[in-house]
Amino acid sequence: MPQDPHPLHAFVRKIEHHSQLTAAEQDAILSLPCSIRNFPPNRHMVREGSAVDGCYVLMSGYAFRSKIAGTGARQIMAVHVKGDAVDLQNAVLPWADHDVHALNQVEAAYIQIDAIHAMMAQHPGAARAIWRDTLIDGAVEREWVVNVGRRDAVARVAHLFCELVTRQEAAGLGRSGAYDMPLTQEAIGDCTGLTSVHVNRMLQRMRSEGLITLRGRELRVEDWDRLTRVADFQPEYLFVEANARQVA
Amino acid sequence: MPQDPHPLHAFVRKIEHHSQLTAAEQDAILSLPCSIRNFPPNRHMVREGSAVDGCYVLMSGYAFRSKIAGTGARQIMAVHVKGDAVDLQNAVLPWADHDVHALNQVEAAYIQIDAIHAMMAQHPGAARAIWRDTLIDGAVEREWVVNVGRRDAVARVAHLFCELVTRQEAAGLGRSGAYDMPLTQEAIGDCTGLTSVHVNRMLQRMRSEGLITLRGRELRVEDWDRLTRVADFQPEYLFVEANARQVA
DNA sequence: CGCCGGTTTGAGTCCATTCAAGAGGAGTGG
DNA sequence: CCACTCCTCTTGAATGGACTCAAACCGGCG
């Protein structure tokens, strides 16, 4: 398996999905000093309430953002794939408002926030692109509000799968129709506001209706069109093909 | 009633809740060219899917962001008060991923996004503060995911009220314990992922338990402590007192 | 082999919805 | 001033979707 040329390569590639970068801006981002850190499965990367002085860019593995309600119930509001800046939000905010958690073995590049700010001051175009990138995370979170607030159980799970698949595609991950499914049924419940028991029943329904197969940590989509219809999935909010319609 | 000295005054005041601005940075923001626009109650300010070349800052009145699910159900993911930049997200994104809607009579200052970008290139400190401001909107949306995903009906409604009250306080709006309640019960349902019928029942419960009184468009909090406990409300995510703990 | 985390199944309960109808209040026009 | 309309709020009864609480099953792994 070929190594990516640079730890931040996938990050630049992702940004170019929604913003055009000049060669100088690409270089400026790739030149950001960063250190590689590894996290074992199920390990906290950032804790809510802590002050954060940098951000992680995922090089491999999966991570999620979550908060814990007063009852102790966990709510996941984003799942991240290779190339995502998982924690820029927390670094720019005065303190972290949410947890970041590694799902499986994670390799991440850590960048000091000061270096990012300095680079942005030099390169307004790159600044705009990175700002936009953080706002796309916001757009995704808004769609999650809709998912949890206004869709029934099957649709919620199906929608989550559609998003996961689309993001893996965009990151160049899904090979031959098979995708990674890093979430347990418990975690799927925490994404969708359901219990793991009910998630299990929805999965069986989706399997019996020929929408997906899900074995172990491998997800296969059997009927993408019907899956998106069940899910009420409109991929625009992910902004993975935005370059064409881009304003400036 | 005294007039604010400048259309963007409330905006600067809000930013200073979470970021320190130099006098020059304040001036730079206040010098942004803007035009005043008015919207009647229940009027769209921005439509999902449209390309947006600027953003509105609320001078008076209330607005909300929403998306429509495939079933036709509406989900509201943010309510905005005086001083909020209601549409910076949509202006920085390639196109609007959500609607913005005026709740009542709204007066807003419209700023071209190009002017904002130009100002930010000149004033990195202001850039950082505005970036942070948009990310705080994200933090609020994350808390909404938790609210609709992981709290029961009373808590959801109570939490919404706590947020609304706290934001009005921060904007200098609630006088003598009475706050504006610009949302209909239908709209409260769209905020919380409930039906208006069920919202009505939760309101009666909250009234009978002496938590609030709600008559017409006026909300009174009768017992803030118990209300926040019922709501599972932790105000940190709003970052209205962040200056003290601020990192840089 | 025995453990352990994750998945599956079942039965009973309850929270929130649906559907429907009525009441209140504000604004409009005759 | 009244009649009329529209919108919002209120109430009731019945339904159902998702939850709870268990227990059993399964596969991987030490």
Query: pLDDT digits over B121-138, tens only?
Result: 999 999 999 999 999 999
**pLDDT tens per residue across span B136-160:** 999 999 999 999 999 999 999 999 9
Q: Is the pLDDT of residue A247 over 60?
A: no
Interface contact B148-A18, CB threshold 8 A: no
Write out B90-116 in H/E/C secondary structure. Answer: HHHCCCCCCEEEECCCEEEEEEEHHHH
Q: Establish if B145 touches chain A: CB-CB under 8 angstroms.
A: yes
One-letter amino acid of B42: N
Q: What tokens appear for B139 in the block?
A: 């933090």
A148 touches strand D (CB under 7 A): no
Chain A residue closest in CA terms to B237: A97
A27 touches strand C (CB under 7 A): no
**What pLDDT is recorded for position B174?**
81
Q: Are the beta carbons of A59 and A36 closer than 8 angstroms? A: yes
Looking at chain B, the whole-number percentage of residues with pLDDT higher than 70 is: 96
**What pLDDT is recorded for position B4?**
57
Q: Establish if A43 touches chain B: CB-CB under 8 angstroms.
A: no
- The residues, any chain, with a CB within 8 Å of residue A32's CB and separated by 6 or more, are A8, A111, A115, A116, A119
Check residues 152 to 181 of chain B and report those whose beta carbon is under 7 Å from nucleic acid strand C: 152-154
Q: Is the pLDDT of residue A3 over 90?
A: no
CA atoms of A137 and A80, how far apart (whole Å): 10
Q: Establish if B228 touches chain A: CB-CB under 8 angstroms.
A: no
Chain A residue closest in CA terms to B149: A193
Mean pLDDT of B181-185: 98
Chain B residue numbers with beta carbons less than 8 Å from the beta carbon of A71 are 150-151, 232
| Confidence category of residue B48, pLDDT binned at 50, 70, 90 | very high
**What pLDDT is recorded for position A176?**
73
CA atoms of B67 and A138, how far apart (whole Å): 13
- The residues, any chain, with a CB within 8 Å of residue B27's CB and separated by 6 or more, are none
CA atoms of B137 and A42, how far apart (whole Å): 28
Q: Are the beta carbons of B71 and B92 closer than 8 angstroms? A: no
* One-character DSSP codes across A156-182: HHHHHHHHHHHHHHHTT--BTTEEE--
Backbone angles phi, psi at B54, to 5 degrees: -170, -175
**Average pLDDT for chain A:** 94
Q: Establish if A94 touches chain B: CB-CB under 8 angstroms.
A: yes
| Confidence category of residue A2, pLDDT binned at 50, 70, 90 | low
A198 touches strand D (CB under 7 A): yes
**What pLDDT is recorded for position B186?**
98
**What pLDDT is recorded for position A4?**
57
A206 touches strand D (CB under 7 A): no
Q: How far from B90 is each of A14, B52, B93, B247, CA to CA, in Å?
A: 19, 6, 5, 28
Q: Establish if B89 touches chain A: CB-CB under 8 angstroms.
A: yes
Q: Are the beta carbons of B4 and B59 closer than 8 angstroms? A: yes
- The residues, any chain, with a CB within 8 Å of residue A98's CB and separated by 6 or more, are A48, A65, A66, A67, A77, A89, A90, B139, B142
Q: What tokens appear for A214 in the block?
A: 């899900």
Q: Is the pLDDT of residue A46 over 80?
A: yes
